[in-house]
């Protein structure tokens, strides 16, 4: 797992990939392009409130700043590729200000990403993907609604403040919006409450730390915004279906 929101902000061209099994990630967005490829199983992907069900060899191409999340349906093994728009500069300039009408298409075979050692091989692979996308869908001009901009600000606030006390009332004060308006907007655009989203976000950060650090479970709870270990354990089990200890061992 990575902290998606910062991807694509680097000064240099970037290309990275990783494999996830039976994983779920909450609503987020970032400047980088993202390619989600299903190797096995099935995955439910939401992009700008459009729902897609991906199965083996399906791919979703997520454009810059498109809000998206994904959920494993039963079981899944997926590959995530994150890369800066500058890596495919011609495509980026030609389709800047547009988004795909349909972000999903089918691959005839799964790519061997381990062979993409050089930037030239990476660009060749990505331009082939761009060609498949262009052949399979039309493109629509982006409409930046006020609601979308406000939601972006809320999600960025959570990314910056999830390690400490973080409430929608604080967000409303920070953004200078009415609390009731933000609460209704958030549910309307994400199909979940702000508190549910915050708990999911914190637990997914905890999963990363459980797998990639030597921090104790109590330290991870505090570092993910939980002052009460019992609340952390309860939320973790509700969301992940296992205890933090069981998840780490597994």
CATH architecture for residues 146-249: Orthogonal Bundle (1.10)
4-141 has which CATH code?
2.60.120.810
Question: Is the Cβ–Cβ distance between 134 and 102 less than 8 Å?
Answer: no
Question: Is the Cβ–Cβ distance between 235 and 203 less than 8 Å?
Answer: yes
DSSP string covering 14-68, please?
Answer: -EEEEEEES--EEEE--SSEEEEEEEEEEEEEEETTEEEEEETTEEEEEPTT--E
What pLDDT was estimated at residue 49? 87
- Per-residue pLDDT 10s for the chain (250 aa) are 334 444 444 446 789 999 999 988 888 888 899 999 999 999 999 999 899 999 999 999 999 989 999 999 889 999 999 999 999 999 999 999 999 999 999 999 999 999 999 999 999 999 999 999 999 999 999 887 788 889 989 999 998 999 999 999 999 999 999 999 999 999 998 888 999 999 999 998 999 899 889 999 999 999 999 999 999 999 999 998 899 999 999 8
- The distance of Cα 72 from the centroid of its chain, to the nearest Å, equals 13
Question: Is the Cβ–Cβ distance between 59 and 37 less than 8 Å?
Answer: yes
**Of how many residues is the chain composed?**
250
CA 205 – CA 25 distance, rounded (Å) = 10
DSSP state of 101: S
**Residue showing tokens 């919006």:** 177
CA 21 – CA 25 distance, rounded (Å) = 12
What are the percentages of helix, strand and coil residues in the chain, rounded to 5?
A: 45, 25, 30
Ranges in the chain annotated CATH 1.10.10.60: 146-249
What pLDDT was estimated at residue 94? 95
Tokens of 191: 């199909």
pTM of the full structure: 0.82
Ranges in the chain annotated CATH 2.60.120.810: 4-141
What pLDDT was estimated at residue 217? 96
């Amino acid at each position: 797992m990575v902290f998606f929101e910062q991807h694509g902000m680097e000064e240099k061209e970037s290309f990275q990939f990783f494999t996830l099994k039976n994983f779920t990630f909450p609503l987020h967005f970032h400047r980088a392009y993202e390619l989600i490829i299903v190797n096995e199983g099935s995955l439910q992907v939401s992009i700008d409130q459009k729902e897609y069900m991906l199965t083996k060899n399906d791919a979703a191409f997520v454009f810059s700043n498109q809000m998206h999340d994904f959920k494993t349906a039963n079981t899944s093994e997926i590959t995530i590729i994150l890369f800066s728009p500058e890596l495919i500069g011609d495509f980026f300039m030609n389709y800047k200000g547009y988004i795909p009408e349909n972000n999903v298409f089918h691959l005839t075979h799964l790519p061997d990403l381990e062979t993409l050692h050089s930037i030239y091989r990476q660009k060749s692979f990505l331009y082939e993907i761009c060609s498949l996308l262009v052949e399979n869908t039309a493109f629509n001009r982006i409409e930046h609604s006020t609601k979308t901009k406000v939601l972006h600000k809320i999600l960025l606030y959570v990314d910056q403040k999830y390690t400490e006390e973080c409430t929608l009332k604080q967000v409303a004060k920070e953004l200078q919006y009415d609390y009731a308006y933000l609460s209704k907007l958030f549910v309307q655009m994400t199909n979940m409450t702000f508190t549910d989203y915050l708990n999911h976000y914190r637990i997914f950060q905890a999963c990363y730390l459980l797998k990639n650090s030597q921090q104790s479970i109590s330290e991870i709870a505090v570092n993910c915004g939980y002052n009460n270990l019992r609340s952390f354990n309860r939320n973790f089990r509700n969301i992940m279906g296992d205890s933090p200890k069981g998840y780490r061992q597994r």
